[in-house]
Structure 1
């Protein structure tokens, strides 16, 4: 059986590289790590992992991306994969968009860019604890960016 996956979505390759390094340093071989430079690419990865029966446990998504923005992407993800832990990163928070994704996609947390690595890892650990204990977590944080 394959490892559960953490998926990161951002249109900047340097951000994805940084996220992957931080996640691998924190979680080592416990998870697989997938990176996507657009919501469209992320959706393809999600479909492929779903077909392989691989659990997607966390999605860390940028908000401001070309094409489909992070809030719209996470809402679509929630419709098909409601139990995935959803975290949004943004340097340009749109309060309305954040509130929308909290309500429509059970956003777990929104973190500002540049993010604090320890805060990101702690957020994921906290969310995964909820995910693993219930596999049907309720929103535990309404923190806005």
Structure 2
């Protein structure tokens, strides 16, 4: 059986690399780590993994991305996969966007850029403890 996946979505490659590195250091080989550079790519990744019966257990998504914003993306994911733990990462989300994701997508947490590695790891651990 395949390992569960943590998916990171951000339009800045340096942020994706940083997230992936920090998660791998904290959680090692317990999970697979996938990345996507926008919400549409992320939806494709989610569908491909779902077709292969590989479960995504957690998504860390940026809010401000070209095309679909993170709040809309996480709400769409929640409608299809309500069990996925959702974390939004942002430098500039407005309060109404954060509140909308909390209400419509069961947002676990919103982290603000720049985040600390410790804050990221603790947020992921607390999210995973809900599974």
Q: TM over 0.5, yes or no? A: yes
Deviation at 1:130, TM superposition (A): 1.1
Deviation at 1:53, TM superposition (A): 0.7
Matches within 5 A, 1:99-118: 99-118=99-118
**How far apart in 2 are the matches of 1:16 and 1:75?**
21
The TM-score, its normalising length taken from structure 2, stands at 0.99
Pair 1:128 & 2:131 matched: no
Deviations 1:9-54 (A, max 9, x none): 0000000000000000000000000000000000000000000111
Structure 2: unaligned runs, 5 residues or longer: none
Moved over 3 A (4+): none
Q: How does 1:1-145 map to 2 (within 5 A)?
A: 1-131=1-131
Distance in 2 (CA, whole Å) between partners of 1:7 and 1:106 is: 17
Aligned length: 131
C-alpha distance in 2 between matches for 1:114 and 1:69: 19
How many Å separate the matches in 1 of 2:129 and 2:120?
14
Q: Which whole-Å CA distance do the structure 1 matches of 2:19 and 2:83 have between them?
A: 22
TM-score by length of 1: 0.89
Q: Structure 2: how far apart are the matches of 1:92 and 1:130?
A: 27
